[in-house]
Amino acid sequence: MKIMLDKDSSEVLRTLDFLRMPAFIVDTKWTILSCNDRVGAVFEYGRAEVIGRNLEKFISLDSIFRERGNAGFSSLADAVREGESTALRAFCFRKNGSPLALPIAVIPNRQHRPDRMIIVVRDAPGQEAAPADASLSPDKAYQGELINELSSIINSSLSIGTIFRMVVSELRKIIDYSRASLLLYNDKDNNLTIFALDTEMKTVMKKGVKAPIAGTSAGWVVRNNKPWISYDLNDTAFPLDRKLLAEGIRSTISIPLFHDRMLGVFNFDSTEPSQYTEKDLEILLPVAKHIAVALENALLFEEISKEKKEWERTFDAITDMVWIEDGRQKVIRANHALMGRTGFSKAEINGKLCKELLEKIGITVTGTCLCSETLSCKRPSFQELKSAGNSIFHFWAYPLIDEENRLYAIVHYLKDVTAQKRIEQQLIRTDKLASLGTLVAGIAHEINNPLGIIAGYSEALIDRAGEKTLRGIKEFEDFPEYLRTIHSEIFRCKGILKSLLEFARPSGGTFREIDINELIKEVLLLLKHRTAKLQHTIELNLDRDVSKIYADAGSLRQLLMNLLLNAIYFTPVGGRISIKTEPDNGAPESRFNGCSHRVRLSLTDTGTGIPEDLIGKVFDPFFTTKPVGEGTGLGLTISHKIIEEHGGAIDVESTPGKGATFIITLPSITCRE
């Protein structure tokens, strides 16, 4: 396995080797990409035995995860991705199998390779100080090395807490303290806040506790940007420092943390008097410089992280699907709604093509991801899309343009508007039918009377044409047939008028409590003869516990009849017609007058189905695909009116060639209570 290691990472490994700390570089799947020579010495494996294997073989990730799990991260990788370096204790396994619990530092290689992490094992056996440079005194050499080590730790982490923990555990080797603390300076309130603490003693000091500037040595340090040593607190000039005496502290050393501005104070406290001298300043002052730089970075990073989290939370709060793609149409960020709908996890979704996402939702994409206009013209674009499951989506693409007018990413917004579209269509239908009703009521009456007269005369003429005297005349030969056609067509017109009047008439039915299942069985009985003739299988799936409805039985019978007659007509011999009833306890909807207890009736057939371009028209008056003379195209128009009078909704779904389903939703009787 040939692994390319970037220059920056190998540099880090070399430094860690010098510091005698075993270190690994791993990818996000914990595969070891490289390690330094110290790994061999501590873990007793050769380099070749380590590279390419999973870190788990050498360090128990499980113990790491468990520890991080408590901190609210689902995995360590997540924690690291969030930009946190982390230090914890984990079991390390040597070749002979013996485990060692050692502190581990996990450091994201954030700057150069965010997909890689450095795992450093600290305090490993044999991790004694590096050999001293001959030209330096042992003390100085160690001090230089220590500062090197500290700066490498500091530079590789952006979490103040982690920096503090690592730095004090290193400094503990050369400075005695009973308590170490890091105080952050807040210039707005002019006070100090305890940010991190390492203590062996019982103390009232806690993270978050505030300390004033006036009257404390730490405050003096902040104000003067100079270190301070209190040799004995019994003689202190700072009245508030005396409080420390009560906790048993006798001497302290405080170092300012300054980088372009005052950031805070680094404190060491001891229960011994005169514990600290100027010599300690030699070590602490250079370290403080590094800490101040890291602290400044960490504070900035924290601020950015806070904003980033806020932004992410907003992004995830959107219930429609939102994602961002790079210029090559690969996902770089996706919100929860999109992950939920596609079933992809955060790790899986990043890097996916927009096309793959849409296909997972059931939307077929040809060519690029439907936003070529956005890509080429750098303009927002919009499209309405349909999924295989007949859901309708609104799809927006917004270009993200940099200062040089280059498109570097695209924001996508995908909204499922199926329900909204249905309601819209129903409203349009209702509107259309309402105007039709008014029109029909006026005209139908007017036409009905002359039609009656024509029908009467045509009947009289048929009788006359049958008389002997006329029958013998050759020129009158065709008359009886013509007259019969006129007569039957008049009756067809009267039939249409009757339906129209029925549609236009004010409801006026008798509303009462009705068991919809019983009504279905009743209507089926009336149609038994027809279904048997066409050898249709009738499948009933009636929920016995479905609630009663408040309805006009006569109208509902007519509605069921219309739907069943259509199903029978459009389903070839031997097909199947299924009727299902079930409760529909969805959210309250205004179209059901805010009622959330409803009954749903679905009628499915295995017939011809309805072509996509015609499905929006089936409720229109006079829309029919039946041959002339066979249908008025008013059956569904009247059915729609009936459902509307009952405060319900009617919908249709169809796969052309496979069948159609009519879905009726009616408010249950409980909505009246």
**Shorter beta-carbon distance to ligand ATP: residue 14 or 492:** 492
Among 295, 433, 634, 642, binds ligand ATP (CB under 6 A): 634
Residue 387 C-beta: closest distance to Mg ion, Å: 29
DSSP annotation of 54 reads B
Q: Which one, of 572, 562, 609, 591, lies nearest residue 649 by Cα?
A: 591
| Interacting partner of 570 out of ligand ATP, Mg ion, none (Cβ under 5 to 8 A depending on kind) | ligand ATP
- Name 539's bridge partners: 578
**Shorter beta-carbon distance to ligand ATP: residue 287 or 568:** 568
Q: With binding defined as CB under 6 A, does residue 562 bind ligand ATP?
A: yes
CA distance 239 to 76: 45
- Counting every residue written for the chain, the total comes to 673
Q: Which one, of 164, 162, 181, lies nearest residue 83 by Cα?
A: 162
- 63: tokens are 């113990």
Q: With binding defined as CB under 6 A, does residue 606 bind ligand ATP?
A: no
Q: With binding defined as CB under 5 A, does residue 252 bind Mg ion?
A: no
Using the rule CB under 6 A, give the single segment among 143-151, 191-199, 266-274, 563-571 that binds ligand ATP: 563-571
DSSP characters over 228-286: EEES-GGG-S-GGGHHHHHTT--EEEEEEEEESEEEEEEEEEESSTT---HHHHHHHHH
- 392: tokens are 């309708």
Among 109, 566, 581, 665, binds ligand ATP (CB under 6 A): 566
| Interacting partner of 180 out of ligand ATP, Mg ion, none (Cβ under 5 to 8 A depending on kind) | none
CA distance 422 to 59: 57
Q: Which one, of 580, 597, 503, 493, lies nearest residue 544 by Cα?
A: 580
Other Cβ atoms closer than 10 A to 125: 10
**Shorter beta-carbon distance to ligand ATP: residue 517 or 604:** 604
Among 219, 264, 635, 667, binds ligand ATP (CB under 6 A): 635
**Shorter beta-carbon distance to ligand ATP: residue 514 or 614:** 614
Q: With binding defined as CB under 6 A, does residue 607 bind ligand ATP?
A: yes
DSSP annotation of 656 reads T
Using the rule CB under 6 A, give the single segment among 62-70, 388-396, 539-547, 633-641 that binds ligand ATP: 633-641
**Shorter beta-carbon distance to ligand ATP: residue 399 or 607:** 607
DSSP characters over 409-464: EEEEEEEE-HHHHHHHHHHHHHHHHHHHHHHHHHHHHHHHHHHHHHHHHHHHHHHH
Residue 632 C-beta: closest distance to ligand ATP, Å: 4
Q: With binding defined as CB under 6 A, does residue 605 bind ligand ATP?
A: yes
**Under DSSP, is residue 24 helix (H, G, I), strand (E, B) or coil?**
strand
DSSP characters over 585-630: --S-BGGGTTB--EEEEEEEE-S----TTTGGGTTSTT---SPTTT
Q: Which positions from 265 through 294 interact with ligand ATP, judged by CB under 6 A? A: none
Using the rule CB under 6 A, give the single segment among 143-151, 404-412, 437-445, 605-613 that binds ligand ATP: 605-613
CA distance 322 to 586: 26
CA distance 380 to 291: 46
Q: Which positions from 86 through 105 interact with Mg ion, judged by CB under 5 A? A: none
- 423: tokens are 């309601």
**Shorter beta-carbon distance to ligand ATP: residue 105 or 500:** 500
Q: Is the dihedral of CA 310, 312, 317, 322 positive or negative?
A: positive
Among 636, 642, 643, 671, binds ligand ATP (CB under 6 A): 636
**Shorter beta-carbon distance to Mg ion: residue 118 or 660:** 660
Binding-site residue total for ligand ATP (CB under 6 A)? 22
Binding-site residue total for Mg ion (CB under 5 A)? 2
Q: With binding defined as CB under 5 A, does residue 566 bind Mg ion?
A: yes
**Shorter beta-carbon distance to Mg ion: residue 243 or 498:** 498
Q: With binding defined as CB under 6 A, does residue 608 bind ligand ATP?
A: yes
How large is the angle between the packed helices 635-645 and 553-570, nearest 10 degrees? 150
| Interacting partner of 633 out of ligand ATP, Mg ion, none (Cβ under 5 to 8 A depending on kind) | ligand ATP
**Maximal C-alpha separation, the chain:** 147
Residue 598, CA distances (Å) to 82, 603, 646 in order: 47, 16, 12
Q: With binding defined as CB under 6 A, does residue 631 bind ligand ATP?
A: yes
Asked whether the beta carbons of 336 and 316 are under 8 A apart, the reply is: yes
Q: With binding defined as CB under 6 A, does residue 623 bind ligand ATP?
A: yes
Q: With binding defined as CB under 6 A, does residue 399 bind ligand ATP?
A: no
Among 624, 645, 651, 669, binds ligand ATP (CB under 6 A): 624
Q: Which positions from 619 through 638 interact with Mg ion, judged by CB under 5 A? A: 635
Residue 665 C-beta: closest distance to Mg ion, Å: 20
Q: With binding defined as CB under 5 A, does residue 648 bind Mg ion?
A: no
| Interacting partner of 634 out of ligand ATP, Mg ion, none (Cβ under 5 to 8 A depending on kind) | ligand ATP
Binding site for ligand ATP (CB under 6 A): 562, 566-567, 570, 605, 607-610, 618, 623-626, 631-637, 660
In the complex, the residues that contact Mg ion under the rule CB under 5 A are 566, 635
